[in-house]
Structure 1
Amino acid sequence: MREDTDNYRELFLNDTPMVDLRAPVEFNQGAFPTAVSLPLMTDDERAQVGTCYKQQGQQAAIKLGHQLVSGEIKEQRMERWLNFCRDNPEGYIYCFRGGLRSRTTQQWLKESGIDYPLVLGGYKALRNALLDVIDELSGTMPFHIVGGKTGSAKTLMVNTLANAIDLEGAAHHRGSSFGGYVNAQNTQINFENITAIAMLKKQHAGYQQLVLEDEGRHIGSVDLPAPLYQKMLAAPVAVVEDPLEVRLQRLLQDYVIDMVADYTRVHGEEQGQILCEEYLLSGLDKIRRRLGNERWQILREEMQKAIKGHQAGAGFDAHLNWLTPLLEWYYDPMYEYQLSLKAERIKFRGDWQECHDYLKEKSAG
């Protein structure tokens, strides 16, 4: 039998499959990329056991738990666990602290003929290990930041550099008022977990420094971990300087064409068009106060005309009538101001390819 483990980093480096035995509500708040939710108890069962524990103590709660998870219910859950164990002989199980839920499941599996190890300390220990990674590597690994105005394909750059971390990918959000996707954004916990695992893997692969996209304190609804953000604020910056026309075409593709395709793929033609229209209009409405009412109204009218046009089959070029002033009135001036605050940290300026080559060379040095 493989031993229970507390080698948390090794689990993440190996993309080890794991069974998360916590209740669904716990899993949905945050888990790990290779974990599968196969709970010992449902949310309702867990709540009943928790109430019993508070009112009658541990032994009564344990007894109730065994009553709730028995008979056919237990057999069904056992079958799912056994199938996972057979399909993933290298995996592990865990509950919140590596206590009663995982020990009970481990014993039941053993009684069914499978010795299967658990993670000592459970979810809490795994989670703390990842938070330690962020703290540690933010303190020891040099960073380089890739900056540039909206539409400069900074995210594409970090995804083509071997030592880069895609923070927006980890957040599942592009970081602007139009940054959402069809599917929900990652939770704060999942964002931190994904980021930490990526950092750990870069270090393990031998990279001595990391490249990150220039971000504010927030990416959509998630916050950058404080140690990471503070390190980014002091890191040298390479600025992508691509022409307005190039950036506009990228934004047209990212914000409009791709989103129309995604919404209709997920929700069907009619409902997808409606939801995509809501996404575009709400993105503009989020920055109404910063734009001012007059400019917001102009852009909203142009956006609505463009939406009607592409819905009628006229193509997407009319969206440039609001994207162009949006950059010129709002995003470009805002980023120029932000960049002025980083003037002493700017070490390189160039077009996309020149910045890519510069950062690749710096990373190799």
Structure 2
Amino acid sequence: MDLKQIEINDLLAIQHKLALIDVRSPLEYEEFHIPGAINLPLFSNDERAEVGTLYKQKGPEEAKERGVEIVSHKLPSLYKKIKALAAEAEQTVIYCWRGGMRSKSLANFMTVMGVMCWQLRGGIRSFRKLVTEQLHVFSQEKKPFVVIEGYTGSRKTDILKQLSEKGYPVIDLEGLAGHRGSIFGSVGLNPQSQKAFECGLWQRLCDLKDAPYYIVEGESKRIGRVVLPPFINEGKAQGERIMIDYPFQARVEAILKEYNPEENKAAVNEAFWHLQKYLRQPFLGELEAALQNEDYALFIEQLLEHYYDPRYQHQLKKYPKEAKRLSITSVAEGVEGVEAILNTLYAPALG
């Protein structure tokens, strides 16, 4: 029985009708997977490492034999799970890294057992190639950018979220990266890999293909471990800028609520450990004391006043365009003010 294969473009065209199964290890899946795919790994993370080591040290035959030993015990469970998923879908597709032995062997087994399964030709590498090519296409469009700026804690993310919910063309870069951008940016979040970020960015750009402009938050070239594509950085540098002014103490309260240091003490302490090399006495000692006393409000106040705000002021000098300033005391005011500015910038052109 010949194994049926499907191309990535054909898969994406019918994805809502699919049972899409990723048979790679949990770590591979976590780093990057096709949206909507379900992870049914043939190997655990340790098992994959074991088979890979055997392949390098003793050759492919020994690796295959060990792989068969590992997978054979899992086949009954895999059969039941895939059969149940296939019963709810019009088509079942299995993929691995490059359309190799893992997906081929399981798809063949399931098909022989009466559950027709297709293999994704080229594996997830074909999807990665598509994402990369499509991002290049989007980079050539040269749409204008609107950049929402402000000191740390100015509620920029909340403003962008509400604008997005109202239908504005927002690209939530921090949300896609799973990171807020600073050393403390991963506290309470799940940072994404570069590949996962670019996949999410591609999806969002597809959603906004008819938008006349993009709205983003002011970010550096790197958000956590994610590097922004050059066209995003270029668009931000040349875009219209809206600077949010939010009261200092309100910023402190917003940061306390968002980062929740009481519940994320270990992550806050680890981030502070990484930050210490950039700090000098006596400021460093004051921060250490506030953190040791769990006086998180004082800790944030000192960080903003003596570290983050001065760095941000220096960064603002690099932009060629003057920002439109918007003083607010609430997120609602911010949303209303940004909408008014957007209307002056783009409504005439759209009308």
What is the TM-score with the length of structure 2 in the denominator?
A: 0.81
2:159 paired residue number: 157
Q: CA deviation at 1:94?
A: 1.2
8 Å contact from structure 1 (residues 96, 122) kept in 2: yes
For the 8 Å contact 2:54–2:62, the answer to whether it is kept is yes
Cα displacement (A) at 1:202: 2.2
Instruction: Normalising by structure 1, report the TM-score.
Output: 0.78
**What are structure 2's unaligned runs of at least 5 residues?**
328-333
**What CA distance in whole angstroms lies between the structure 2 residues aligned with 1:56 and 1:285?**
43
Tell me what 1:101 maps to: 102
**Residues 36 and 346 of structure 1: CA distance in aligned 2, closer, same or farther (over 3 Å):** farther
Is the CA contact (8 Å cut-off) linking 1:133 and 1:196 kept in structure 2? yes
| 1:9-40 Cα shifts (integer Å, max 9, x gaps) | 83598596521122334324322342222123
Counterpart selection for 1:199 from 202, 205, 209: 205
Distance 1:301 1:60 in 2: 57
Which whole-Å deviations, capped at 9, do the CAs of 1:227-277 have from their partners, x for residues lacking one? Answer: 433443333322212222332221222133xx43xx3xxxxxxxxxxxx33
Secondary structure of 1:293 counterpart = coil
Residue identity opposite 1:138 in structure 2: S
Aligned partners of 2:231, 2:11: CA distance in 1, in Å? Answer: 19
Does residue 236 (structure 1) correspond to residue 240 (structure 2)? The answer is yes
Partner of 1:294: 282
The one of 168, 172, 177 equivalent to 1:166 is: 172
2:113 match: 112
Q: 1:66 to 1:195 in 2, by over 3 A?
A: same
CA distance in 2, matches of 1:323, 1:46: 44
The amino acid that maps onto 2:236 is: M
| Offset of residue 51 of structure 1 | 6.1
- 2:325 counterpart residue number: 349
Q: Which runs of 5+ in 1 are unaligned?
A: 264-275, 308-317
Q: Distance in 2 between matches of 1:196 and 1:339?
A: 28
| Higher helix content, 1 or 2 | 1
Instruction: Look up the equivalent residue of 1:293 and give its one-letter code.
Output: Q
Deviation at 1:7, TM superposition (A): 0.8
SS at match of 2:79: helix
The superposition leaves residues 137-166 of structure 1 with CA deviations (integer Å, 9 ceiling, x where unpaired) of 133152222111111112122222231111
Select 2:7's aligned residue among 5, 17, 40: 5
Q: Which secondary structure does the structure 1 equivalent of 2:140 belong to?
A: helix
Does structure 2 conserve the Cα–Cα contact (< 8 Å) formed by 1:149 and 1:332?
yes
Looking at structure 1, the residues matched to 132 and 55 of structure 2 have their Cα atoms a distance apart, in angstroms, of 30
**In the TM superposition, what are the counterparts of 1:258-273 in structure 2 within 5 Å?**
259-260=261-262, 263=263
CA RMSD of aligned residues (A): 3.3
Structure 2 match to 1:84: 85
Distance 1:44 1:280 in 2: 30
In the alignment, which residue of structure 1 is the partner of 2:24?
22
Give 1:328 deviation, angstroms: 1.8
Letter in 2 for 1:168: E
Cα gap change, 1:48/1:134 in structure 2, threshold over 3 Å: closer, same or farther? same
Residues 24 and 42 in structure 2, CA contact (< 8 A), matched pair in contact too: yes
Whether the 8 Å CA contact 1:284–1:296 is kept in 2: the answer is no
d(CA) in 1 for partners of 2:117, 2:346: 42
Cα deviation for residue 58 of structure 1 reads 6.5
The answer to whether the 8 A contact 1:21-1:38 is kept is yes
Aligned to 1:320: 297
How many residues matched? 334
- In 1: Cα distance, 2:234 partner to 2:267 partner: 32
Q: Work out whether 1:138 is the aligned partner of 2:142.
A: no
Q: In structure 1, how many angstroms separate the alpha carbons of the residues matched to 2:303 and 2:95?
A: 49
Match of 1:190 among 192, 196, 203: 196
2:23–2:39: 8 Å Cα contact kept in structure 1? yes
Q: Secondary structure at the match of 1:118?
A: strand
Which structure 2 residues correspond to residues 18-97 of structure 1 after superposition, within 5 A?
18-43=20-45, 46=48, 50=52, 65-66=67-68, 68-70=70-72, 72-89=73-90, 92-97=93-98
State the distance in 1 between where 2:50 and 2:296 align: 54
| Gap change, CA 1:69 and 1:245, over 3 Å in 2 | closer
Partner amino acid, structure 2, of 1:339: L
Instruction: Give per-residue Cα distances to partners, 1:69-117, cap 9 Å, x unaligned.
Output: 33x4322222222222224445532112223332332222222222233
Residue type matched to 1:78 in 2? Y
Q: Give the secondary structure class of the aligned counterpart of 1:248.
A: helix
